[in-house]
Structure 1
Amino acid sequence: MMRLSIVVPLLNERNLIADLAEQLQPWQQRHDCEVILVDGGSGDGTAQLARDAGLRVLVSSRGRALQMNCGAAAARGEILLFLHGDTQLPASAQELIEDALAEKYCWGRFNVRIAGRSFWFPLIATLINWRSRLSGIATGDQAIFVRRREFEQLGGFPEQPLMEDIELGRRLLKISRPACIGVPVSTSGRRWQSRGVLRTVLLMWRLRFAYWRGVPAEILARRYE
């Protein structure tokens, strides 16, 4: 069995720590798995709360790509799994990943389910999963996993402020298409609910289309904020 390293970037997420610790502590107790949280300079005590909960925490410069690269550099696993703090893995995640990578793939992602009260969420999740399957591109909400060898070969995540997951997927596609695991991870719908579900969906579509047209990620990040 290959060693799995779960890398979680965090920034000002103190309200997530209790649930995150409950999810991740069983994973870090496995002899063939490690969990690394990477704080991007939170001002709300996220890092200390996570340490108090028994989780390993590193501190890096702010930026999801920078934080995930920092965690990957410290990781010892042959497989790297990049997990958002508000996303929950299925209990069988490690076995599913190993089975997928035992075939022709060097990377992959899970289907996603969006947790929340909006009746739009099942439709949005279905569209995300089908778009990913057809395009071969994955987003961070889908818990991207990759063999360390290929991740390092490509230089890790591109150090850009937005679309780092899309860009990594583009580069990995030159090596292989992703393994698409049908068992879903569950991610919080808070981002959609806080900004408005349809407004957020339209914004993300516009940003991804602009990125596909070649608009720099730095400009898109300002639009996103």
Structure 2
Amino acid sequence: MISIIIPAHNEEANLKYLIPYLEHITKEKAVEIIVVLSATNSDNSVQIPCSLTTTIVTCEQSGRAIQMNCGTAQAKGDYLVFLHADVKPPKNFIVDIQQAFKARYEAGFFSYKFDKENFLLRINASFTAKDSLFTGGGDQCLFIKKTVFTDLGKFNEQQVIMEDFEFFKRMKKNRVNYTIIKNDLIVSARKYETNSYLKVNASNLLLVLLFKYGYPPEKLKSLHHKLLKIPYTNKQ
């Protein structure tokens, strides 16, 4: 079984679209969907049409790392997929994941493109089809064997931002065999709608470099608030 884990905070509009879509493309496959709402979600009685394959739980705390670990504790699958609520996977992404595991990869990511047609955004997205400085970001939809995820110590819950990069750092240190599947996810460009292309890219580059040099997570989070006009609660 494959467990798709979706951490969410105030994402009801996206979930109302994403859950039925996931249930449709995973129909008759050994897949479960676990949506993990944050403790501070604005409405923890979120009403999302879903089938018996989907479970919606509310985490006792907030934060993507905490919520994803919470979802893992609920997961029945031998394989885990971590998907953001505003990311739409391709129709055959489960088959892609199954084939990657059959090829003896222990983990992997997907390339992606943005949901807005823009030449500069296409340049950004092109880097996700290969290893680069930004490989391992959460928008790339990490999939991994549950035993490998557990052996690596799960997500670091003290990493209040960039928990995906921190986990990928441990993956590389432990020589986890991973692949990048060139079958684009569709990623929301919403942060580019309130900030310039140059500002978002400069901010992303600065945060990644500071992270790699060991800048404290809380200070990274504070800097993230200051650099971009996007509430941290939008995408924890």
TM-score normalised by L of structure 1: 0.90
- Which residue in the other structure is 1:203 paired with? 203
* Alignment: residue pair count: 220
Cα drift, residue 136 of structure 1: 8.8
3-state SS in 1 of match to 2:149:
helix
- Could you say what secondary structure the match of 1:37 adopts? strand
Structure 1 stretches of 4+ with a deviation exceeding 6 A read none
Q: After the TM superposition, which residues 133-148 of structure 1 pair with which residues of structure 2 at under 5 Å, given as runs?
A: 133-134=131-132, 137-148=135-146
**How big is the shift at 1:224?**
0.6
Q: Is the 8 A contact 1:88 1:187 kept in 2?
A: yes
Question: What residue in structure 2 maps to residue 182 of structure 1?
Answer: 182
Between the aligned partners of 2:5 and 2:95, the Cα distance in structure 1 is 17
Partner of 2:230: none
Contact kept in structure 1, 2:129 and 2:181, CA below 8 Å: no
Q: Who is 1:90 aligned against?
A: 90
Comparing 22-31 and 64-73, the one that deviates more: 22-31
Which residue of the other structure, out of 7, 13, 20, is the alignment partner of 2:18?
Answer: 20
Match of 2:6 in 1: 8
Q: State the 1:208 CA deviation.
A: 0.5
What's the offset of the Cα at 1:216? 1.3
Aligned ranges 1:160-175 → 2 under 5 Å:
160-173=159-172, 174-175=174-175
Q: Is the Cα contact below 8 Å between 1:116 and 1:190 reproduced in 2?
A: no
The answer (yes or no) to whether the contact 2:65–2:155 under 8 Å persists in 1 is yes
Deviations 1:53-103 (A, max 9, x none): 554211111100000110011001111000000111111111111111222
Take 1:222 and 1:11, find their aligned partners in 2: how far apart are those partners? 19
- TM-score between the two structures when normalised by the length of structure 2: 0.86
Deviations 1:140-182 (A, max 9, x none): 1011100000001111111111111011111112232421101
Distance 2:161 2:64 in 1: 8
Could you tell me which residue of structure 2 aligns to residue 70 of structure 1? 70
CA contact 1:27–1:35 (8 Å) conserved in 2: no
Match of 2:114 in 1: 114
Sequence identity (%): 26
For 1:82 and 1:95, locate their aligned partners in 2 and report how far apart those are by CA, in whole Å: 16
Q: Which runs of 5+ in 2 are unaligned?
A: 226-236
For 2:44 and 2:85, how far apart are their aligned partners in 1?
Answer: 11
- Mind listing any 5+ residue stretches in structure 1 that lack a counterpart? none
